[in-house]
Amino acid sequence: MEVERVQAIASLSLSSDTIPAEFVMAETEQPAATTFLGPIPEIPTVDLSDPDEQNLVRSIAEASKEWGFFQAVNHDIPAEVIRRLQEVGTEFFGLPQEEKEVYAKAADAKSIEGYGTKLQKDKNGKKSWADHLFHRIWPPPRINYQFWPRNPPSYSLSIGLGLEGQVLKEAVGGEEVEYMMKINYYPPCPRPDLTLGVPAHTDLSTLTILVPNEVPGLQVLKDDHWIDANYIPNALIIHIGDQIEIASNGYYKSVLHRTTVDKEKARMSWPVFLEPPPEFVVGPLPNLLNPQNPPKYKSKMFKDYAFCKLNKLPQ
C-alpha cells in the first residue's frame, strides 16, 4: 500500500488554501487558540563556555528542573558542521518522491528507522503535518546503513555532547548510550493556525539534542502556557527526556513540547535522541530515595518502556 506523504498533500493544499480535515486539530490544541500571547518568560540559554564550572552546573540544573529544556550556546560544534547537517537534510527532502521512498520504513518493521510519515492518529483522530527520516548514528555496531541516504553524497554527521555527571550518566546507559538521529520536515501549510507539525509530547530518550532551521515553531509548556522558543543561530536545543526524569525520580522534568508550522516556509529540525541500549534497565537512582522521597517510577528495560510509550500503554 502506497503511503501518502505530507509533503505531497502540502503541495496540493497550498493551491486550495485548505487542509484535509484529519489535520485540523481539536480546538484545545490549535496553535491560534492556545499559544501564549502575554509577557513571555525567558526560556533559559546556557553558555557552555562559562569558565565558572559551578555556575555552569547550576544553570544547567536549574533549567532542567524548572523547564526540562534550554538552548546551549558556545558549544564548540563548528557552525560549518551545523550548516552542512542542515544542507544535506534539506537536499534529501528536496529529492523526487521515488528517490526518498528507497529509504522508506517497511510497514511491518520493528524498528522506527527509515523515511516515513507518522500514520497513527492522535487521541482525537488527527494527523501531524510532517514527514521524517530516522536512523541510528552511534555506536557503530548499531548503525544500519540501509537507511543512510546515498543521495546527496555528502550525507554524513558527527555530533556529541556531554552534560550530566557520571552517576546520572551511568544510570541511563553510560558509554553504551545509543544515538538515534531524526530529520523532521514540516512542509508549508495554508492553515498553520489549525494544525501541528507534532502534537504535545515528551521524548522517551535520555536527552535530546536538536538543531532547528531558521523557521520558528518549537513551543514548550511552562505553567500551563504554550511558549514560543526563539530561534538562536547555531544554538543547540537541549530537551530533558523521560529517562532522566525517571533516573532523577522526577527532580528533572521531561519537557512537554510541540511544533507549529509556517504558511510560507518549510520548517525542519534535526534532533539526536540519546537512548539507553534496549536491554538496559532504567529506574530511580537508589541514593535519591528515602521514606520522604519514595520511587515515583518503575524500573524497566528501555525497550519495554519504549514499547509501552509508543503503543500508548500504561507504564
Pick the catalytic residue: 65, 118, 201, 303? 201
Nearest 5°: CA angle at 218, between 215 and 224? 150
Distance CA 143, CA 140 (A): 5
- What CA–CA distance (Å, rounded) separates 214 from 229? 12
Q: Which of 203, 222, 239, 253 is catalytic?
A: 203
Question: What's the grid cell of residue 231?
Answer: 530561534
Verify whether residue 309 is a known catalytic residue: no
CB 125 within 8 A of CB 196: no
Query: Contact, 10 vs 189, CB < 8 A?
Result: yes
Strand ranges, E, within 30-145: 45-47, 69-73, 114-117, 131-138
224 catalytic per annotation: no
Q: Residues 100, 105, 127, 257: which is the catalytic one?
A: 257
Q: What is the rounded distance in angstroms from the CA atom of residue 106 to the CA atom of residue 297?
A: 33
Catalytic residue among 118, 182, 265, 300: 182
CA distances from 132 to 40, 139, 182, 183 (A): 30, 21, 7, 5
Counting every residue, how long is the chain?
A: 315
- CA-CA-CA-CA torsion for 29, 33, 38, 43, nearest 10 degrees? 30
In the chain, what's the furthest Cα-to-Cα distance? 62
201 is known as an active-site residue: yes
Active site residue 298: no
Contact 186/293 with Cβ under 8 angstroms? no
Task: Specify the DSSP element, H or E, that contains 269.
Answer: strand 267-275
What strands, in cross-sheet order, belong to the sheet with 45-47? 45-47, 69-73, 236-240, 207-212, 267-275, 178-186, 131-138, 114-117
Catalytic sites, residue numbers: 182, 201, 203, 257
